[in-house]
Amino acid sequence: MALVVKFVLLVLAAVLLSHSNGYPRGGKAAAMGLPPPPPTVNFSIGVQGVVWCKSCRYRGYFPPMDASPLPGAVVYLRCRHGRRAATFRGVSGAGGYFLIQTSQQVAAFTSQECRVYVPRSPVSACSVPFYPTGNKGLQLKFQEFVKRGNGLQGLYSVGNRLFRPKYPNQC
């Protein structure tokens, strides 16, 4: 019996490791000896990122990026699988940082079926999408597992969403 249990655990570990090729190594998950999640695993999702205004010097200006954080940007996490869809709303804080945490409602979606959208800048002088361009949405990049009261949550990052002024020196 013990031999069967060991065999099942070994096969499960091999399957999980073989599906982790599309995710970056590192972070706390790798430090704990856990592989990043395969794209087919369902659990609650947390998404974080920062909204910036390129080339404008507002409060919190960050010289290495030549950008200022944009507080008050409305951010959406949209997950879609066939006809099923779910949307979660968030708002960037004082430093342009946002964090959207989902509940069990998103368990029907995988991380590859979700995207983050920042449709417009909260500042009219800095309203032109700079990076990424288009309406494709930002892809989720795995960062770490976070233990929550209701189980594990996959914490993802979408990086930076940049806007710029329509005309140079308009800020």
DSSP 83-130: TEEEEEEEE--TTSEEEEE--GGGGGS-GGGEEEE--S-SSGGG-EEE
**CATH code of the domain covering residue 142:** 2.60.40
Question: Per-residue confidence at 90, pLDDT binned at 50, 70, 90?
Answer: very high
Is residue 75 included in any domain, yes or no?
yes
Report the number of distinct structural domains present in the chain.
1
The arithmetic mean of pLDDT across residues 54-73, rounded, is 94
Q: What is the pLDDT of residues 118-134, one digit of tens each?
A: 999 999 999 998 876 66
Is residue 31 included in any domain, yes or no?
no
The arithmetic mean of pLDDT across residues 20-43, rounded, is 48
Q: What global pTM score does this model have?
A: 0.71
> How much is the pLDDT for 4?
34
Is residue 4 included in any domain, yes or no?
no
List the domain range (segments joined by +) for residue 130.
44-164
Instruction: Please report, for residues 2, 5, 57, 96, 98, the alpha-carbon distance to residue 125 in angstroms, rounded to integers and kept in the order given.
Output: 67, 62, 12, 16, 21
Is residue 171 included in any domain, yes or no?
no
Question: Per-residue confidence at 104, pLDDT binned at 50, 70, 90?
Answer: low
Per-chain mean pLDDT for the chain? 77
Is residue 17 included in any domain, yes or no?
no
> How much is the pLDDT for 136?
78
